[in-house]
């Protein structure tokens, strides 16, 4: 796993390394499958300084927030188990939703980037 520190350049990975990367769900998140095929994530709220601290003195702060993943996002979420590679997930997306390989890869990478930015998943990237 690669740790990025502040004020340093983000490591550059090759397309091949990213395709071989294995997305892994954050173990601190709880999730529940809905009847319609979506998934409801329960994300613990982090206590923050500044205004959040002042406001929380007067109003009860929620302990968690809920995020709903629609059926396509839920399909990807289920496969983010550390066993499937990004290329494998893209291939399953391509077959399940009858889209092109390019569309599957582009959509998957955008979605994983969003999930990783929110710290819902991490990517395990094998070194060369």
Does the residue 1 lie in any domain? no
Tell me if 3 is assigned to some domain: no
pLDDT of residue 124: 92
Percent of all residues in the chain with a pLDDT value above 90, rounded to a whole number: 64
Say if 2 falls within a structural domain: no
CATH number of the domain to which 70 belongs: 3.90.930.60
Residue 80 lies in a domain: yes
Query: Does residue 8 fall inside a structural domain?
Result: no
Is the pLDDT at 43 greater than 80, yes or no? yes
pTM above the 0.75 mark? yes
Q: Is residue 74 part of a domain?
A: yes
Query: Is pLDDT at 95 greater than 80 in this prediction?
Result: yes
Does 44 fall in a domain? yes
Contacts 24+ apart (CB under 8 A), 107-113: 107/72, 108/76, 109/18, 111/73, 111/76, 112/23, 112/76, 112/80, 112/86
pLDDT of 4 higher than 60: no
**Looking at the 3D structure of the chain, how many domains does it have?**
1
Structural domain that includes position 101 = 15-124
């Amino acid at each position: 796993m690669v740790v990025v520190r502040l004020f340093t350049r983000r490591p550059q990975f090759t397309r091949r390394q990213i395709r071989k990367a294995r997305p892994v769900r954050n173990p601190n998140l709880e999730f529940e499958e809905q009847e319609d095929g979506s998934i409801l994530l329960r994300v613990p709220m982090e206590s923050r300084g500044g205004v959040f601290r002042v406001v929380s003195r007067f109003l009860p702060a929620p302990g968690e927030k809920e995020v709903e993943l629609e059926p396509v996002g839920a399909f990807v979420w289920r496969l983010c188990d550390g066993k499937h590679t990004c290329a494998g997930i893209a291939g399953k997306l391509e077959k399940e939703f009858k889209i092109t390989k390019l569309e599957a890869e582009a959509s998957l990478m955008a979605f994983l980037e969003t999930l990783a930015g929110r710290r819902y998943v991490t990517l395990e990237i094998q070194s060369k």
